Structure 1
Amino acid sequence: MTKRRSSTFFRSPMAIASLTIVALFIVLAIVAPILWGEQASTPNPDALLQPPSPEHPLGTDSLGRDLLLRTLVATRTSLGMALIATLIGAVAGLAIGALPVVLGPRAQRWFASVINTWLAFPVLLVAMLTVILLGAGSTTAIIALALTMTPSFARLAQTLASRVGGSEYLAAARMLGISRSRQFTRYIMPNIAEPVIVNVTISIGGGLLALSSLSFLGVGIQPPEYDWGRMLSEGFEQVYSMPTAVVGPGVAVVVAGITFGMLGEALAGHMRNHGGGRVMSRRKLGAPPRVEGVAAVEAPTSASKPLLTVDGLSVAFPGEHGWIRPVQDVSFSIAPGEIVGVVGESGSGKSVTMMAVAQLAASGAGVTARTLNFDGQDLLELAPAELRKTLTTSIGVVFQDSLTALNPAKRVGSQLAEIPRVHANASGRSANEQAVAALADVSIPDPERRAKQFPHEFSGGMRQRTLIAMAQIGKPSLIIADEPTTALDVTVQQRVLALLRRECKQTGAAAIVVSHDIAVLAELCQRILVMYAGRIVEDVDVRLLADPEKLAHPYTRALAASLPDLETDLTKPLATIAGEPPDLSLPLVGCGFAARCAFATERCRSEAPPMLEHRHGGRIACWHPQDVAESGDTGGAPDRRESEGALV
């Protein structure tokens, strides 16, 4: 694929022309000072201010030196200074703009203020101030140009890195305990490299013009050194008597500036046209993966000590008009080896809750809890280093979007090998062998070859299986799967679900599976946590879903009723839940489902129901559980037979 993309770039007329001229400039920068350096610098009193001639095509200057040779020799100084200044500005800009992403929100805010302040100063003012403080000269000119370039590179790096900073694969890297330096060099830099390289290429041309301007004004390079700008300044005195004195350096500056600009535009155009392209491999594929049957998993006994205990978990984000609370007072527990589903409409707080448990809440989130106990350790009491070590080795996360959860700039095998390399101090060879074995365990065909490929070369199902392999390669006690079957077809869904269940059975790990599809959870899980408006409204055994009449909460009943099956009458509209979820930016009073519930009373609208044990063996937060309606204990709710139609 890389060769194919490169060949298309080299077929572009603009790329060919710009690369040819750049190569010519590079050759001149290397060869010209060696061949003509002494001749171009030695005064010749017998040839002062001569007009163009066969011996001197552009004439001579006031000291009798050949102007054409001086122009050619000055290529090294002019391009060298522009290149050095641009590289300094780029490196400094990347450090200021991209590095804070791995240092945390406070560092990001501080460096953002620095960048904004820096950009507010006029470029010319910064350059002149530098010259005043350090004195005129080539070194000062380079420093001045680098200082003017740094904030623009920093703003570009800040914008690009902020996207990477919010990605799931960087969140996974943090969770795995990968060092900040490695996050910067292996996760952020490769993913922002292409636009940065384009900007550097374009900036070399602009830097060349800027340095020539400084030398022309007399604050850049000083005699006896010279560059194209200095030659323009010296030749300007004879421009009316001998116009050719400025032709050589003038043309060189213009051609070099335009050429680097063309090269940058050619790179940018190539990226736009081919950045997301894929080329199918022509190698023979291995045997198709064997589909595992879905085996039953024994439910944990009630006497099992909880692996995870969450009590009073709340998550809030700052908004324009106050705090937005997508998760409010959530409490639940998970036993070892148990597979628990979390279901609810979009925006109910499912993913936010689980990411908060894994300490992967988004930047700016306020997370509080009365108890957050994992495997006998109180996570709220652990120091940051201990917390990171505990979570990175004991919790595996399968993110929702498999394409964004994998680092697009790293090969799949390298990403899996990070885990044994970081946490088990495995050698590079051993870590790679474990990565290949992990891919084989999740039925990835030809795992050795696939480990050397990039994520975009995998299908959606293969990427999802890769995430499962990544989550379990460290043998965690708990796997959190956030929408693991989103955007997958039914066949691939079956494979992923079977694989997740098989991995939990083989390793003894517990799993929390988040989904908006109650049918997926009914096939995989032992019990289900139903969330609505940021709260858990029912904790129910999955077997009750087969008989909705035994479900207690009206919202759970509505979800089960909205699930079509083979007996659904296709001549009638599908069942839906009327109304909209509440606005969580406003204070939530009473039961969140009251506005959409046909059984709601004034008490439901004014008082939030507590989460209590229920006779079906689970828990429920409802003032009027509907599985007791037949006995007459409706708590003042309207007759179910009259109101059932309004519910769904």
Structure 2
Amino acid sequence: MLGTPTGRTAAGLVLVILVLAVIGPAPWSGRANAVDTGNLLAGPSAEHWAGTDNLGRDIAFRVLEATRLSVGLALAATALTVLVGLLLGTAPWLLGRRAGRLVSGAVQIAIAFPGLLLALFFAVVFGVGATGAVLAIGLAGAPMFARLVQTLVAGVAARDFVAAARVAGVGRFRVLLRHLLPNIAEPLVVNATIGAGGALLAFAGLSFLGLGVQAPGYDWGRLLYDGVGVLYLNPAAAIAPALAVLVAGLALNLLGEAVAKGFGMAALVGLAGAPVLPAGRPERRAAGGERRSTMDGAADEPAEEPADDVVLDVRDLTVSFPGADRPVRPVRGVTFTIRRGEAVAVVGESGSGKSLTALAVSRLTDPAGQVDAERLHLLGTDLRAPDSAVQRRLLGSSLAMVFQDPASSFNPTRRIGGQLAEVSRHHHGRNRREAFARAVDRLRAVRIGDPERRARQYPHEFSGGMRQRAMIGMGLMGSPALIVADEPTTALDVTVQRQVLDLLTAIRAADDVALLLISHDVAVVSEVCDRVLVMYAGRVVEDLPTERLAGGALHPYTRALVGAVPRMDSPLDRPLPVIPGRPVDPAELPDGCAYAARCPLATQRCRDEDPPLRRHPSGHRVACWHARPPTAPTPHDEWETREPKPAVQPPPSSAQAVQR
């Protein structure tokens, strides 16, 4: 804070003002209140720097004496603004959607009125005087502060490290204290200090209007009112208190800017070792629902009891959100199982429902979403059941979630080791030392060098690949039976991608951990996974072994995805293959097959009837009326079977390329 000239100047001015306020009227009370009838309304002089008032009292000393009351009342009003603003701003997060919406509406209505009008209204309600002015100014500034808090909380609450805390069973109040407020503290402090300057000016305004401090007391606003009455006789009588308000307000504003630059590091140092508070109860995310028809994408096979080695059993999973006319269902009747040690990939274009399926399994869907399923079991535990301590412990210990963006997966205000250790302390009852040792061990397990030193660093000190590996290490703090990796290599270069994929493969082989890998890269999943679920428009359209992906896919969409992957032997004189058209909007699904408009094999039956997901004689499941092996070329793979046309200019040989 003191590293810049602005910070040092602001701190010096505020320090002087606070010293004047603390020592109060003791040194100059006599001079400020001494009546001199022989020297009324005198101008500035060596004896009276700002002249005298209508009773001969020294105006300069009265301005100094009024510092305590002016600054004290302004700080009290600012504290009230911050307190009420925090309560109103965090209420939507703590109370939930319905009650929080009422609070947000009340705040929006209050913001619609000018702050001065609100202050005058509250001043009339609470009565004239210092107490009424504190309440009036404090409450008048609370709506704007609450709106700022709401906006900042909403932005941080959408980040992945908050979702990770929720899946670990952390309560809303604890998430607010440990994850939300530390990340929004800097702008709040800046606005609070700037607000203190505004409160100082507002108090001067109320006292000037006769609604603030009453005689015989006086603050800078009251002195300004008295000085304006004799402005033509002694301008210094009005200039002196106005200058005091100006300097104090400017000092507080500059201090806010200086604090903003230093507060971030203070938060990192001070909050990294904050104690763990008792956990609350996460909001329920899944609920039982009615059976969906096969036209919604559910399998038409009879329900079977899961085997003993099944880790995740999902049947007829549907996720819906409120829409303008009717509910929108981005995920429709998804059914699959994952066994111990098995790696299952979910592939498809953006918007096909891959990530939302994983979030529904992890109970991390948006509060507005409704999750329904005929069966949703993790290690035999029904995730549709009401929330309980057993369920929270299961999700926090047996399910590891690796998010897509490693930069947002960690709380930037806390050290890496502390964030990993929190999982172990919360779910396994370890003390601080044991949990930190476990965190260091997990960082070593995910191949991070010098883990003791790295555990004491902050997320911004890690590279992208190291952050992703540390995120995997957080999932390994317990004994996960299932790792859900939501496009874990998207933001990484190809070298680091290989390292992350090799790490996931090694973990799966060493501990018999099941893996659900979500990706849009068919080439990646072909090397890592045993089975592939192909999703389109919220449905699983094909479920097949990985070895059949390249040459044995039955669905035209699956073959189109494979054909769209560039190959080293692709003809150089032809454009890269693409899937024609665009994915359908979940809010405007067609009556028949959602892929019919883009499919080269579509018939009228495809446009009228949505095919169910059935088991094909080849052994795997597919949802297509024309499911068959790719014996004949289609527009998607036609370029692979034709003889390439001669290029206008033949490509250079290796020797020619070297010469060039």
TM range (shorter): 0.7 to 0.9
The answer to whether the Cα contact below 8 Å between 1:599 and 1:643 also exists between their aligned partners in 2 is no
The reply to whether residue 112 of structure 1 matches residue 142 of structure 2 is no
In the alignment, residue 624 of structure 2 is paired with which amino acid?
Answer: C
The two structures have a TM-score, normalised by structure 1, of 0.87
The reply to whether residue 443 of structure 1 matches residue 447 of structure 2 is yes
The two structures have a TM-score, normalised by structure 2, of 0.85
Instruction: Identify which of 356, 359, 363 aligns with 1:359.
Output: 363
The reply to whether residue 592 of structure 1 matches residue 590 of structure 2 is no
For 1:516 and 1:475, the matched residues in 2 are separated by 28
For 1:241 and 1:556, the matched residues in 2 are separated by 91
Counterpart in the other structure of 1:516? 520
Deviation at 1:437, TM superposition (A): 1.6
The reply to whether residue 203 of structure 1 matches residue 207 of structure 2 is no
The answer to whether the Cα contact below 8 Å between 2:485 and 2:517 also exists between their aligned partners in 1 is yes
In the alignment, residue 230 of structure 2 is paired with which amino acid?
Answer: Q
Counterpart in the other structure of 2:29? 37
Q: 1:549 to 1:180 in 2, by over 3 A?
A: closer
Pairwise mapping of residues 373-452 of structure 1 onto structure 2 (< 5 A)?
373-383=377-387, 386-452=390-456
In the alignment, residue 412 of structure 1 is paired with which amino acid?
Answer: I
Q: 1:647 to 1:222 in 2, by over 3 A?
A: farther
Counterpart in the other structure of 2:348? 344
Deviation at 1:113, TM superposition (A): 0.9
Q: 1:485-542: CA deviations, max 9, x gaps?
A: 1121111111111111222233332110100001111111111111111100111111
The reply to whether residue 573 of structure 1 matches residue 565 of structure 2 is no
Q: 1:512 to 1:50 in 2, by over 3 A?
A: same
The answer to whether the Cα contact below 8 Å between 2:41 and 2:233 also exists between their aligned partners in 1 is no
The answer to whether the Cα contact below 8 Å between 1:41 and 1:70 also exists between their aligned partners in 2 is yes
**Match of 1:549, SS?**
coil
Counterpart in the other structure of 1:172? 164
The answer to whether the Cα contact below 8 Å between 1:344 and 1:350 also exists between their aligned partners in 2 is yes
Q: 1:272 to 1:185 in 2, by over 3 A?
A: closer
Q: 1:464 to 1:108 in 2, by over 3 A?
A: same
Deviation at 1:138, TM superposition (A): 1.4
Q: 1:604 to 1:271 in 2, by over 3 A?
A: farther
Counterpart in the other structure of 1:97? 89
Pairwise mapping of residues 456-495 of structure 1 onto structure 2 (< 5 A)?
456-495=460-499
Q: 1:103 to 1:394 in 2, by over 3 A?
A: farther
Q: 1:605 to 1:261 in 2, by over 3 A?
A: same
The answer to whether the Cα contact below 8 Å between 2:186 and 2:264 also exists between their aligned partners in 1 is no
The reply to whether residue 139 of structure 1 matches residue 131 of structure 2 is yes
The answer to whether the Cα contact below 8 Å between 2:93 and 2:172 also exists between their aligned partners in 1 is no
The answer to whether the Cα contact below 8 Å between 2:129 and 2:214 also exists between their aligned partners in 1 is yes
Pairwise mapping of residues 294-313 of structure 1 onto structure 2 (< 5 A)?
304-313=308-317
The reply to whether residue 242 of structure 1 matches residue 244 of structure 2 is no
In the alignment, residue 92 of structure 1 is paired with which amino acid?
Answer: V
In the alignment, residue 394 of structure 1 is paired with which amino acid?
Answer: S
Structure 1 stretches lacking a partner, 5+ long: 1-5, 276-301, 631-639
The answer to whether the Cα contact below 8 Å between 1:597 and 1:647 also exists between their aligned partners in 2 is no
For 1:314 and 1:596, the matched residues in 2 are separated by 24
For 1:371 and 1:227, the matched residues in 2 are separated by 70
The answer to whether the Cα contact below 8 Å between 1:553 and 1:626 also exists between their aligned partners in 2 is yes
The answer to whether the Cα contact below 8 Å between 1:170 and 1:187 also exists between their aligned partners in 2 is yes
Q: 1:121-175: CA deviations, max 9, x gaps?
A: 4434433333333322212111110111000000111111111121111111111
The answer to whether the Cα contact below 8 Å between 2:559 and 2:637 also exists between their aligned partners in 1 is no
% identical equivalent positions = 45
**Match of 2:368, SS?**
coil
Deviates more, 1:333-342 or 1:320-329: 320-329
The reply to whether residue 368 of structure 1 matches residue 351 of structure 2 is no
The reply to whether residue 552 of structure 1 matches residue 554 of structure 2 is yes
Instruction: Identify which of 517, 528, 533 aligns with 2:532.
Output: 528
**Match of 2:400, SS?**
strand
**Match of 2:44, SS?**
coil
Q: 1:144 to 1:644 in 2, by over 3 A?
A: closer
In the alignment, residue 609 of structure 2 is paired with which amino acid?
Answer: E
Q: 1:578 to 1:550 in 2, by over 3 A?
A: same
For 2:121 and 2:580, the matched residues in 1 are separated by 67
Deviation at 1:217, TM superposition (A): 1.6
Q: 1:527-567: CA deviations, max 9, x gaps?
A: 1111111100111111223xx33221111122222223443
Q: 1:150 to 1:642 in 2, by over 3 A?
A: closer
For 1:549 and 1:244, the matched residues in 2 are separated by 92
Q: 1:38 to 1:375 in 2, by over 3 A?
A: farther
Q: 1:134 to 1:583 in 2, by over 3 A?
A: closer
For 1:107 and 1:162, the matched residues in 2 are separated by 16
In the alignment, residue 610 of structure 2 is paired with which amino acid?
Answer: A
Deviation at 1:179, TM superposition (A): 2.6
The answer to whether the Cα contact below 8 Å between 1:472 and 1:479 also exists between their aligned partners in 2 is no
**CA RMSD, 1 decimal:** 2.6
Deviation at 1:85, TM superposition (A): 0.9
Deviates more, 1:106-115 or 1:534-543: 106-115
Deviation at 1:43, TM superposition (A): 4.2
The answer to whether the Cα contact below 8 Å between 2:522 and 2:561 also exists between their aligned partners in 1 is yes
Give aligned pairs, total: 601
**Match of 1:355, SS?**
helix
The answer to whether the Cα contact below 8 Å between 2:404 and 2:486 also exists between their aligned partners in 1 is yes
